[in-house]
Amino acid sequence: MATHFLGDTAVLTGRTMRHVTRSLDTIITTVITPIAMMLMFVYVFGGAIDTGPIQYVDFLLPGILLITIASGIAYTAFRLFTDMRSGIFERFQSMPIARSGVLWAHVLTSLVANMISLVVVVGVAVLIGFRSGAGPLAWLGVAGILLLFTLALTWIAVIPGLSATSIEGASAFSYPLIFLPFLSSAFVPTETMPGPVRWFAENQPVTSIVNTIRDLFAGQPVGDDIWTALAWCVGVLVVAYVFAMVTYRRKIS
């Protein structure tokens, strides 16, 4: 069984990737909200926000990227939910294949689809003036953190994807995740926030991830933030994976 795992997962990933490439509107709707938000903040609110010496678009982009991922994984849940409801998930589970390959195919597709969305958003940011002095290593670091964040959120998305009873239920979980960057250092420096809000903003995962990416983009040395960011990502990943597996086991037995 294990010998087929890679082959089966590749075949199934090819299938879900076709779902992405044949409904490019999902990529467009994934990126349209973050891009609109970026334009609004840069051209409307940004002027009123004091980010010190750095350009506002440079300040803003890391948060926008996280929002892109949060809205992108809603489609992961949606695709998985559709498979569950149409019965094709059961068809695969009743076939002589590596069963977990079905889930992994969705996870890998989620990673690829989100990377495409991120590239589009970064492209638009460059068009409106985003510049980075980051070297290849720093870019690699940014890509790595974003990939890890996507993976963690994807496993969160698997849970409603497997267990939801309606399409709305399958994708609603992503709203709080999209909202989370607003309560962080993504749009405004946390120093301007009142006490309890500031405390929350400074201690939630998004802030450390945003700060790390921002430092990497600026070509500055990253502080302890990167360890906090990685710890959050890995922590969320492990917890989400465990819960996703529990949900999965419950579904197939």
Partner 1 sequence: MAAGTSEPKRGLRQYVEIVTGPIEDKRRWWQYKARMKRLPVNYRTAVDALQRYLLIFGPADGGSVTSMFEDLADLFEQSAANGTSVRAIVGDDPVEFVEMFLRNYPELDRQGAGTVGQGHRSCRGSRIVTKERVDIQMRVDQARGSAIRVQGLEKSYKELQVLRGVDFDVARGSVFALLGSNGAGKTTVVKILSTLLKADAGTAAVNGFDVATQAADVRESISLTGQFAAVDEILSGRENLVLVARLRHLENPGAIADDLLDRFSLTDAGARKVSTYSGGMRRRLDIAMSLIGNPSVIFLDEPTAGLDPEARIEVWETVKGLAGRGTTVLLTTQYLEEAEQLADRIAILHQGRIIVNGTLVELKQLLPPAKVEYVEKQPSLEDVFFAVVGDAGKDRTT
Taking CB under 8 A as the rule, does residue 165 contact partner 1? Answer: no
What does the angle CA 151 – CA 111 – CA 228 come to, to the nearest 5 degrees? Answer: 30
Q: DSSP letters along 22-51, please?
A: H-HHHHHHHHHHHHHHHHHIIIIIGGGS--
Residue 137 contacts residue 221 (beta carbons within 8 Å): no
Residue 225 contacts residue 215 (beta carbons within 8 Å): yes
Interface with partner 1 by CB under 8 A: which range of 29-37, 89-97, 174-182, 186-194? 89-97
Please identify which residue in 8, 58, 215, 225 interacts with partner 1, judged by CB under 8 A. Answer: 8
| Collapsed DSSP state (helix, strand, coil) of residue 165 | coil
- Residues that contact partner 1, how many (by CB under 8 A): 24
Instruction: Find tokens 């749009």 and name the residue.
Output: 187
Taking CB under 8 A as the rule, does residue 91 contact partner 1? Answer: yes
Taking CB under 8 A as the rule, does residue 86 contact partner 1? Answer: yes
Query: Residue 253 Cβ, how far from partner 1 at the closest point, in Å?
Result: 5
Nearest C-alpha neighbor of 122 from the set 211, 51, 217: 217
Taking CB under 8 A as the rule, does residue 249 contact partner 1? Answer: no
Taking CB under 8 A as the rule, does residue 93 contact partner 1? Answer: yes
- Give contact residues for partner 1 (rule: CB under 8 A): 1, 4, 7-8, 11-12, 15, 18-19, 22-23, 86-88, 90-97, 252-253
